[in-house]
């Protein structure tokens, strides 16, 4: 694997499958252990550099690093990015001086992990940059899909039909998923109101449409994206009610899904908005598995970047 | 009485002549002049141009002297071949009163490397609410004729109409930064396939084009002079062409960077390439270059925008927009106005870098070129030399050049302001 994980596009098919396989092996080797810990990264330092609140993602990375026996530093720098405090560059030089082996960065500015990578020697993992990418989320989603599809070590996602629904425009999850799922052989369709699809969507390696009902019967996987309520004030759509009616996954819509189809959501969910409670809690839903898989996949990423071969 | 003799220079690339300057004025031009001059300049192989005039420079003084001062900016301008620059109004305090514009003007005079002509703000504090005292600035010692809220569009159509009307009283011009603000909320780069990919909020071409179309119609309606700052899209070119064909009294400028660079550079996430309006697509660059050649675009203006290191070495979205340009504008203009055989249309170079800008700014002393009786504001260029750009070697106090490492054609050897050398053998005299 390369030195950094900045974009889902950085991963070749073989590399992406290697991450999923490694996550699988890690899970197996931890099974039945009383102490869920591997000694792999003992003596290495992983810094969680979070400029934006995301307790879920931070805890997931923290747990992943600790289970690999790394020393973990949490550096919460919320609010200091744009306000004139210590600059990102100064922070980078500080982390460099402290000997950070890997920096996991979450930042509200698209592209900031690339800048960080140009300033430090250690590995950089993009844990979400602005409205751009979130590659480990895409990896954990792919890992979840592969398991649910009954595929195993060495397999990609060839032929799997994935429909991603909602605010694609502002979604780093969608961007990274389109890139990674494509690499792994899945067919991706994006569904959203035209206001929430990016300019130039025609050139993306996926299909797109505006009609959810049309897209559902064909899907093996439906991934619902979180809708930020502030989008409503900016007139991306008229009302919450209209959005829920046209793009929400309610029980009736879920009924049109194929029997084996699964429903995913990166969380946190707006129940009743993009997803109905009974769908979120149904057997189709993988929301809880995604969280658990996130730790395994992030362990695999840290292991491959800092310790392992593959 | 000081006399300067320039020997065997080629005015606008024409036949070699000797040029005699007596007391700041060109007194004689002849194939050969035998005079006992105080200063003799060997012009062999050099192209003579009217001293360059920039209609759009940010000198940052007062307020951000850490990024640029009138002195460092003047030096950069002289090295770029300029004898006059219009200093934009978005300083701190804003140049929206007679007091501030006179201070800028007088400081420029004292330094004496280039005439610093203040641009007055259109509205108080660039606030877009209330007209600044445009008449007081026009009547001041600085004799302001160009008014602009550059960086902020005068977006209220009624206020824009009043501004256009009002400056007719003193032959002023409104220079508009065309950007419909409601279409560019949070904008970080050109809106395109690439912005979607990079997750950077887009600045759509229509935000520029809709304001240009509106303002051309307003200028036509009230019969006023309008100037459009830094055109950046192919659509804007079309609108200017259409407006001119209707007889609208509109002029337009393009920056060196919009003639050379494309949005693709944003892929680096290096804020050195962040600018407003943003770098656009290759098709836009092509249209702008063609429009500069055919006269749809009237002038090249630098939008020289120095920024301190900390304002650029940060996250793209936090970085200030803008790039340097004074020292490279002439080279990039030459690149644009040369044909495939490498022949340069020097008449057009002189028009777009000097003559027309002086006319728009109503500067009687500048842009006249090498003619007897004209003030001796002259630039002598070695067209065969080239310069590899290095930010740290530039005269500007800031180093935010997008051209780092690029080899650009042409080198200014001498610049004369009213007959006095401000650049001698490629070096600033002060
Ligand atoms: Zn400007």
Rounded to two decimals, the ipTM of the complex is 0.87
Question: CB-based contact (8 Å) between B364 and chain A?
Answer: no
B366-406: per-residue pLDDT in tens? Answer: 999 999 999 999 999 999 999 999 999 999 999 999 999 99
Test B199 with A115 for CB contact under 8 angstroms. no
CA B241 / ligand 1 centre spacing (Å):
23
Is omega for the bond preceding B89 within 30 degrees of 0, making it cis? no
Pairing of strands B407-417, B146-147: unpaired
How confident is the model at residue B1, as a pLDDT?
Answer: 76
Q: What is the mean pLDDT of residues B134-156?
A: 98
Q: Which chain B residue has its CA at the smallest distance from A197's CA? A: B196
How confident is the model at residue A76, as a pLDDT?
Answer: 80
How confident is the model at residue A290, as a pLDDT?
Answer: 97
Test B317 with A109 for CB contact under 8 angstroms. yes
CA B175 / ligand 1 centre spacing (Å):
10
- Residues of B annotated as catalytic are 303
Q: Which residues of B touch A203 (CB under 8 A)?
A: 193
What is the pLDDT of chain A when averaged over all its residues? 93
B65-113: per-residue pLDDT in tens? Answer: 999 999 999 999 999 999 999 999 999 999 999 999 999 999 999 999 9
How confident is the model at residue A230, as a pLDDT?
Answer: 81
Which B-chain residues 269-288 have CB contacts (< 8 A) with chain A?
269-270
Test A200 with B315 for CB contact under 8 angstroms. no
- Residue percentage of chain A with pLDDT more than 70: 96
pLDDT at A83 over 90: no
Test A130 with B314 for CB contact under 8 angstroms. no
| Chain A with chain B: Cβ pairs closer than 8 A | 74
Q: What is the 3-state secondary structure (H, E, C) of chain B?
A: CCEEEEEEEEECCCCCEEEEEECCEEEEEECCCCCCCCEEEECCCCEEEECEEEEEECCCCCCCCCCCCHHHHHHHHHHCCEEEEEECCCCCCCCCCHHHHHHHHHHHHHHCCCEEEECECCEHHHCCCCECCHHHHHHCCCCCCEECCCCCCCCCHHHHHHHHHHHHHHCCEEEECCCCHHHCCCCCEECCHHHHHHCCCEECHHHHHHHHHHHHHHHHHHCCCEEECCCCCHHHHHHHHHHHHHCCCEEEEECHHHHHCCHHHHHHCCHHHCCCCCCCCHHHHHHHHHHHHHCCCCEECCCECCCCHHHCCCCHHHCCCCECCCCCHHHHHHHHCECCCCCECHHHHHHHHHHHHHHHCCCCCCCCCCCCCCECCEEEEEEEEEEECCHHHCCCCCCCCCCCCCEEEEEEEEEEECCEEEEECCEECC
A199-239: per-residue pLDDT in tens? Answer: 999 999 999 999 999 999 999 999 999 998 888 778 899 99
Binned at pLDDT 50, 70 and 90, residue A310 comes out as: very low
Question: CB-based contact (8 Å) between B184 and chain A?
Answer: no
Binned at pLDDT 50, 70 and 90, residue A85 comes out as: low
CA B152 / ligand 1 centre spacing (Å):
9
Interface test with chain B among A8, A194, A198, by most B beta carbons within 10 Å: A198
**Which segment of A92-101, B158-167, B389-398 scores lowest on mean pLDDT?**
A92-101
Distance from CA of A127 to the nearest CA of B (A): 14
Q: Which chain B residue has its CA at the smallest distance from A175's CA? A: B197
B189-213: per-residue pLDDT in tens? Answer: 999 999 999 999 999 999 999 999 9
A235-281: per-residue pLDDT in tens? Answer: 899 999 999 999 999 999 999 999 999 999 999 999 999 999 999 99
Of residues A52 and B354, the one with the higher pLDDT is B354
How confident is the model at residue B153, as a pLDDT?
Answer: 98
What is the pLDDT of chain B when averaged over all its residues? 97
Total-model pTM: 0.93
How confident is the model at residue A82, as a pLDDT?
Answer: 44
Q: What is the mean pLDDT of residues A103-128?
A: 96
Question: CB-based contact (8 Å) between B36 and chain A?
Answer: no
Q: What is the mean pLDDT of residues A97-114?
A: 95
Distance from CA of B195 to the nearest CA of A (A): 8
Which B-chain residues 298-337 have CB contacts (< 8 A) with chain A?
310, 313-318
Binned at pLDDT 50, 70 and 90, residue A81 comes out as: very low
Which B-chain residues 218-277 have CB contacts (< 8 A) with chain A?
268-270
CA B295 / ligand 1 centre spacing (Å):
22
B16-48: per-residue pLDDT in tens? Answer: 999 999 999 999 999 999 999 999 999 999 999
Q: Which chain A residue has its CA at the smallest distance from B319's CA? A: A82
Distance from CA of A303 to the nearest CA of B (A): 28
Distance from CA of B203 to the nearest CA of A (A): 11
Nearest to A132 among B198, B268, B270 (CB): B198
Q: To 5 degrees, how large is the angle CA B429–CA B272–CA A121?
A: 115
């Amino acid at each position: 694997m390369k030195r950094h994980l900045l974009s889902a596009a950085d991963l070749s098919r073989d590399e992406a499958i290697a991450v999923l396989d490694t996550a699988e092996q890690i899970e197996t080797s931890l099974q039945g252990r009383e102490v869920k810990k591997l000694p792999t990264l003992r003596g290495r330092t992983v810094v969680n550099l979070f400029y934006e609140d995301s307790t879920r993602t931070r805890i997931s990375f923290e747990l992943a690093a600790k289970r690999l026996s790394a020393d973990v530093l949490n550096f919460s720098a919320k609010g200091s990015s744009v306000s004139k405090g210590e600059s990102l560059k100064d922070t980078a030089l500080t982390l460099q001086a402290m000997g950070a082996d890997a920096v996991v960065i979450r930042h509200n500015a698209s592209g900031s992990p690339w800048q960080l990578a140009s300033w430090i020697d250690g590995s950089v993992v993009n844990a979400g940059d602005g409205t751009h990418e979130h590659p480990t989320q895409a990896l954990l989603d792919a890992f979840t899909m592969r398991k649910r599809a009954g595929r195993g070590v060495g397999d990609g996602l060839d032929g799997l039909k994935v429909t991603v629904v909602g605010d694609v425009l502002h979604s780093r999850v969608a961007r990274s998923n389109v890139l990674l799922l494509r690499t792994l052989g899945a067919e991706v369709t994006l569904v959203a109101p035209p206001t929430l699809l990016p300019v130039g969507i025609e050139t993306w390696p996926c299909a797109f449409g505006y009609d959810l009902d049309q897209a559902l019967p064909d899907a093996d996987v439906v991934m619902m994206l979180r809708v930020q309520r502030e989008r409503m004030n900016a007139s991306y759509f008229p009302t919450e009610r209209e959005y829920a009616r046209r793009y929400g996954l309610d029980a009736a819509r879920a009924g049109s899904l194929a029997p084996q189809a699964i429903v995913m959501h990166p969380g946190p969910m707006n129940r009743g908005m993009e997803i109905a409670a009974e769908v979120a809690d149904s057997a189709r839903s993988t929301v809880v598995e995604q969280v658990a898989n996130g730790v395994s996949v992030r362990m695999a990423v840290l292991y491959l970047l800092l310790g392992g071969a593959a | 009485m000081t006399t300067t003799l320039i020997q065997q220079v080629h005015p606008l690339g024409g036949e070699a002549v000797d040029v005699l300057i007596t007391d700041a004025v060109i007194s004689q031009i002849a194939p050969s002049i035998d005079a006992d001059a105080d200063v003799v300049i060997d012009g062999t192989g050099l192209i003579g141009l009217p001293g360059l005039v920039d209609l759009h420079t940010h000198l940052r003084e007062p307020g951000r002297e850490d990024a640029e001062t009138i002195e460092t900016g003047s030096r950069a301008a002289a090295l770029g071949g300029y004898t006059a620059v219009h200093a934009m109004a978005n300083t701190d305090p804003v140049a929206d009163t007679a007091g501030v514009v006179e201070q800028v003007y007088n400081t420029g005079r004292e330094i004496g490397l280039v005439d610093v002509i203040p641009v007055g703000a259109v509205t108080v504090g660039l606030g877009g609410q209330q007209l600044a005292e445009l008449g007081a600035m026009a009547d001041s010692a600085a004799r302001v004729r160009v008014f602009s809220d550059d960086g902020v569009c005068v977006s209220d159509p009624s206020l824009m109409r009043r501004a256009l009307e009002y400056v007719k009283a003193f032959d002023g011009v409104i220079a508009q930064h065309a950007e419909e603000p409601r279409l560019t909320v949070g904008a970080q780069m050109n809106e395109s396939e690439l912005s979607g990919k990079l997750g950077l909020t887009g600045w759509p071409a229509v935000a520029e084009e809709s304001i240009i179309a509106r303002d051309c119609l307003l200028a036509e309606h009230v019969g006023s002079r309008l100037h459009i700052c830094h055109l950046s899209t192919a659509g804007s070119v079309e609108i200017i062409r259409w407006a001119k064909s209707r007889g609208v009294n509109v002029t337009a400028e393009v920056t060196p960077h919009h003639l050379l660079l494309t949005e693709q550079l944003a892929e680096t996430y290096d804020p050195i390439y962040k600018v407003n309006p943003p770098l656009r697509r290759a098709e836009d660059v092509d249209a702008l270059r063609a429009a500069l050649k055919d006269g749809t675009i009237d002038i090249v203006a630098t939008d020289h925008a120095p920024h301190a290191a900390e304002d650029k070495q940060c996250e793209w979205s936090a970085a200030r927009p803008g790039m340097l340009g004074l020292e490279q504008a002439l080279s990039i203009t030459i690149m644009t106005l040369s044909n495939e055989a490498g022949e340069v249309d020097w008449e057009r170079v002189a028009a777009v870098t000097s003559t027309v800008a002086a006319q728009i700014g109503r500067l009687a002393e500048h842009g006249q070129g090498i003619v007897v009786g004209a003030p001796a504001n002259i630039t002598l260029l070695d067209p065969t030399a080239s310069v590899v750009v290095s930010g740290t070697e530039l005269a500007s106090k800031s180093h935010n050049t997008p051209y780092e490492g690029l080899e650009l054609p042409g080198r200014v050897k001498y610049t004369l302001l009213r007959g006095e050398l401000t650049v001698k053998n490629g070096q600033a005299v002060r």
